[in-house]
């Protein structure tokens, strides 16, 4: 249905050398979009990943290094890309601790990377989209943008902020051919989550299946992980003409988490 309909469009995806960001990059490239991958690492593997995506889908794929904790680099990413029809704000980090024990530097870093970066990239991208006469901004929020869990104060605050920013951006562009929405995933089986499973098995003295069902997916009624492909396809849909009147809102991909 959506095969190659994004040909000629350029998508910038922050935090996209692995996990959700990379999954979204695959789906947008498959739909014909040129892609700008991003992380702060700037390794040979990052550039090789861009080359591999370009070869696989026959689109232009570049890697641009930028530190999403720094506002000037967030804006530089958009400027250096030279075009931005689709902006996917995905970069994020996590830290878990009770509020009295939460390190100030961790709070500052999470707010900077998970929330402030999206403000800076959006501020830089909107003039470019307005000049082009079309744009899609998709913020990767979380089920924690709509609900909360203990010990995740900074992450929950940032993701609630992303939802609010998406609403404001949607309102400010409501009379233009530009939309802004937030995708709110539940647990997604990314390499980062996968790497946490063995330690969690030891901590709770459970096998892998028990850890997934009773710990990781405790609040996810489907008892299944969302996939990066599902999130990528949701992003592709939001870029389509069918989603032209969907703006300033959230789409949950959480197996029923926020229905509870």
Q: Which of 57, 63, 155, 187 is catalytic?
A: 155
Alpha-carbon dihedral sign for residues 245, 12, 28, 20: negative
Tokens of 89: 């704000």
Q: Is 147 helix (H, G, I), strand (E, B) or coil?
A: coil
CA–CA gap between residue 249 and residue 201 (Å, rounded)? 37
Known catalytic membership, residue 155? yes
Question: With helix as H, strand as E and coil as C, how does 9-57 read?
Answer: CEEEECCCCCHHHHHHHHHHHHCCCEEEEEECCCCHHHHHHHHHHHHHH
| Cβ atoms of 223 and 215 closer than 8 Å | no
Residues recognised as catalytic:
155
């Amino acid at each position: 249905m959506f095969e190659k309909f994004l040909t000629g469009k350029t998508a910038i995806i922050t935090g996209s050398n692995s996990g959700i960001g990379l999954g979204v990059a695959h789906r947008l490239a498959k739909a014909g979009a040129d892609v700008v991958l991003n992380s702060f690492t700037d390794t040979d593997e990052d550039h090789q990943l861009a080359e591999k995506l370009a070869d696989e889908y026959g689109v232009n794929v570049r890697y641009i290094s930028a530190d999403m904790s720094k506002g000037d680099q967030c804006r530089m990413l958009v400027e250096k890309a030279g075009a931005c029809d689709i902006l996917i704000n995905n970069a994020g980090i996590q830290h878990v601790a009770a509020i009295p024990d939460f390190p100030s530097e961790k709070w500052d870093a999470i707010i900077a990377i998970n929330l402030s970066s999206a403000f800076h990239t959006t501020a830089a991208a909107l003039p470019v989209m307005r000049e082009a006469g079309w744009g899609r901004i998709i913020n990767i929020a979380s089920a924690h943008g709509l609900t909360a869990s203990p010990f995740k104060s900074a992450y929950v605050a940032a993701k609630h902020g992303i939802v609010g920013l998406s609403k404001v951006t949607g309102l400010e562009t409501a009379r233009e051919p530009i939309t802004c929405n937030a995708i709110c995933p539940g647990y997604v089986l990314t390499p980062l989550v996968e790497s946490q499973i063995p330690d969690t098995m030891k901590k709770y003295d459970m096998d892998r299946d028990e850890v997934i069902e009773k710990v990781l997916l405790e609040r996810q009624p489907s008892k299944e992980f969302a996939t990066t492909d599902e999130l990528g396809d949701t992003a592709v849909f939001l870029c389509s003409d069918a989603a032209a009147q969907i703006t300033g809102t959230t789409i949950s991909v959480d197996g029923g988490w926020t229905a509870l």
